[in-house]
Amino acid sequence: SYVLTQPPSVSVAPGQTARITCGGNNIGSKSVHWYQQKPGQAPVLVVYDDSDRPSGIPERFSGSNSGNTATLTISRVEAGDEADYYCQVWDSSSDHHVVFGGGTKLTVL
Amino acid sequence: EVQLVESGGGLVKPGGSLRLSCAASGFTFSSYSMNWVRQAPGKGLEWVSSISSSSSYIYYADSVKGRFTISRDNAKNSLYLQMNSLRAEDTAVYYCAREAVSSTSCYDYWGQGTLVTVSS
C-alpha cells in the first residue's frame, strides 16, 4: 500500500517560514491535499490539489508537489498556526484507498 | 452554511455493534460523495469508508472491510456507518466528511466527530 511520510515535528519562530514535507513514491504524479487540525477540533482543509487554497484560507498557506516530495509552506507564521498538519492523497493504484500522512506537529516558538 | 453533525458514538464491548449517523445541512447532500474518517486517541487520521452520491460506489479500508457498512439516505440528508464486530483498535473519534465535487478524495467540510470507545 502507498505510504506518506511526514516529519513528526517542525518548529519555527513567529514571522518566519515553516515548511512541512510529505514524502511518497512518485507523489508528484498525485494530487495532494493538506489539512490543519488544532487540539480538540476537526481537521480543516488548507490546501488542495497540490497548491490551491479554499476560500477563507490565508495566502500565507501554499503548497507544491514534485518528484517524491510535496511541501506545505506557511509564510509569516503566527501563533495561531500552531497545529497538526496532515497530507493526503488518493491512491488510484489500489481499491480507492485514501492515504493520510502520519501528521506533523507545528510548534511556534 | 454547510453543517455536518455526527451522533451515535458511545461505549461498546468488544464484539458489539454501533450505528453512527451524520446529519447534513446547508448544501445539496445528494450531489456529494461522503466519507467516514477516524482518529484514534493521540494518533493520526485514518480513512474508513466512502460512498458516492447515489450509493453506486462504496469503498472500505482493509481494516474495516467485512465489519463496517456505509450507507446514506438522500431524502433524509443523512449518512450512516454500521459497525459490527467491534474491536479495541476501532476506538476513535469518527468524523464524517464531505468530498469536494472538483477533486477526488478532497474533504472540504468535516463534522465535529463522535467518539466510539470499544472496551470491556
Per-residue pLDDT tens digits for A99-108: 999 999 999 9
B103 touches chain A (CB under 8 A): yes
Smallest Cα distance from B59 to chain A, Å = 7
pLDDT of the residue at A41 = 97
| Distance between CA atoms of residues B1 and B66, nearest Å | 35
The one-character DSSP state at B100 is P
CA distance A45 to A94: 24
The answer to whether B37 and B46 have CB atoms below 8 angstroms apart is yes
Mean pLDDT (chain B, rounded): 96
What does the pLDDT read at residue A96? 65
List, in sequence order, every residue forming a beta bridge with B107; answer none if it has no partner. Answer: B99
Buried b (16+ CB within 10 A) or exposed e, B15-24: eeebebbbbb
Looking at residue B31, the DSSP 8-state letter turns out to be G
Cα angle: B30, vertex A33, A66; to 5 degrees: 140
Give B73-85 pLDDT, tens digit per residue.
Answer: 999 999 999 999 9
User: Pick from A43, A39, A42, A78: which is nearest to A58 by CA?
Assistant: A78
Residue with cell 490539489: A49
| Partner-chain residue, chosen from B100, B105, B108, that has the shortest CB–CB distance to A98 | B105
Q: Which grid coordinates are listed for B106?
A: 478532497
Cβ pair B58, B82 in contact under 8 A: no
- Partner residue facing B45 (CB), from A48, A86, A95: A86
- Chain segment A41-98, per-residue pLDDT in tens: 999 999 999 999 999 999 999 999 999 999 999 999 999 999 999 999 998 777 768 9
Q: Provide the percentage of residues in chain B whose pLDDT is more than 70.
A: 100
Residue B106 touches chain A, beta carbons under 8 Å: yes
Cβ-nearest to B106 among A33, A42, A101: A33
Residues of B in contact with A88 (CB under 8 A): 45, 105, 107
Shortest distance between the Cα of B10 and any Cα of chain A, in A, equals 17
Nearest by CB to A102, from B44, B103, B108: name it: B44
- Summarize the confidence of residues B46-71 as an average pLDDT: 95
Q: For A7-28, what is each residue's pLDDT tens digit?
A: 999 999 999 999 999 999 999 9
Interface test with A, best of B104, B108, B114, B115 (most A CBs within 10 A): B104
CB of B61 within 8 Å of any CB in chain A? Answer: yes
Give the model's pLDDT for residue A61: 98
